[in-house]
Amino acid sequence: MAQVIAKIALFGNEGQEKARSVALQLYEIAKQFNIELFEPTSGDFTAEIAMCLGGDGTFLDVASKVADKEIPILGINVGHLGFLANYSPDDVSHLFSDLSEGKYIIKNHSVLEVSSPQLQLDGYPFALNEVAILKHDMSSMISINTSVDGEFLTTYMADGLIIGTPTGSTAYSLSVGGPIIVPSLNTISLTPVAPHSLNMRPIVISGDSKIEIVISSRSKSFLVSLDGRSHSYHDQVSLIIRKAPYVIRVVTPSEQSFFSTLRSKLMWGR
């Protein structure tokens, strides 16, 4: 049985009316189970669980705040698809009962880290879903020279390259034809975006690999997007992408599996 939970930090998308409504329910039910539910101040991560209200975008934002603190994240989906936010508002009535009795499981999700030997990258250089190397909106395709563990792989001529975790395989990577990967696998996927050559296909490599890329562009710049957080850099910069030294821990209903999520969220077999 998992840890019995007594203190939860609540993060929410306050711009959504549905999120506010669910939050009010959560506060009322938490009192019934003597669970402390609070909105954290900056840097306050003393909770046993970080609960977020919203969609996967809200979940990714909370993951960047939790980072390496090893606090499990529980997502209640009041957005659209909700692969990461895997509880629904309908689960609220029995959610705290399960938490107070330890009836849940925690799954570890790998994270990618980006670094450069030439410059200090902006912001938080980690991604739970993917690191996307992209051209600027109106520029022509970019050239992405790619090596894996010191061995040259190929030069992608494309609109971009998505370097994804198994968790991110159902996100941006999936929309451009990338493979779906079971989150528990230790892998990294490389999926080109609109490649110039049709024989440039996605490839899955070991999660322990070190990927080094150098980008060339006619516009002399390119974008790096980490879970949607985008920064612009000059070309010819070398980037290194590898697995981060920590994982994001995700609270999951004990009866839920990745395959059942595929059937319900992607409507497999319908």
| Each residue's pLDDT tens digit, 115-126 | 999 888 888 999
What pLDDT, on the 0 to 100 scale, is given for residue 214? 97
Residue pointed to by tokens 């991560």: 45
Rg value, the chain, Cα: 20
56 carries an active-site annotation: yes
Tens of pLDDT, residues 12-55: 876 677 888 899 999 999 999 888 999 887 656 788 999 999 88
Least confident of 95-104, 110-119, 147-156: 95-104
What pLDDT, on the 0 to 100 scale, is given for residue 254? 80
Residues forming a β-bridge with 62: none
Mean local confidence (pLDDT), 258-263 = 88
* Gap between the Cα atoms of 221 and 215, Å rounded: 8
Give kind and range of the element (H or E) at residue 112. strand 105-115
Query: In the predicted model, is pLDDT for residue 210 greater than 90?
Result: yes
Mean local confidence (pLDDT), 126-150 = 93
What token pair was written down for 268?
A: 């497999």
Of 77 and 13, more confident: 77
pTM, to two decimals: 0.92
Residues ≥6 apart with Cβ < 8 Å to 243: 110, 111, 112, 113, 188, 207, 208
Least confident of 50-64, 80-94, 150-164: 80-94
Q: Which domains does the chain have, with CATH numbers?
A: 7-104+253-265 (3.40.50.10330), 111-245 (2.60.200.30)
Sign of CA dihedral 208, 214, 217, 221: positive
Active-site hit among 44, 56, 122, 208:
56
What pLDDT, on the 0 to 100 scale, is given for residue 100? 82
Mean local confidence (pLDDT), 219-227 = 93
Single out the residue of 89, 107, 108 nearest to residue 24, CA to CA.
89
* Gap between the Cα atoms of 139 and 51, Å rounded: 40
What pLDDT, on the 0 to 100 scale, is given for residue 83? 84
Q: Rounded to the nearest 5°, which phi and psi values hold at 215?
A: -110, 135
Assign 78 a pLDDT band (cuts: 50, 70, 90): confident
What pLDDT, on the 0 to 100 scale, is given for residue 15? 65
Query: In the predicted model, is pLDDT for residue 183 greater than 70?
Result: yes
What pLDDT, on the 0 to 100 scale, is given for residue 147? 98
Of 231 and 267, more confident: 231
Give the mean pLDDT of the chain: 90
Q: Give the highest mean pLDDT range of 34-43, 132-141, 227-236.
A: 227-236
Least confident of 44-48, 66-70, 133-137, 177-181: 44-48
Contact (Cβ atoms closer than 8 angstroms) between residue 77 and residue 88: yes
Residues forming a β-bridge with 38: 9
Of 158 and 86, more confident: 158
Contact (Cβ atoms closer than 8 angstroms) between residue 36 and residue 63: no
Query: In the predicted model, is pLDDT for residue 1 greater than 60?
Result: no
* Per-residue CA distances from 191 to 23, 38, 168, 208 (Å): 38, 40, 11, 17
CA–CA–CA angle 103, 104, 109 (5° rounding): 165
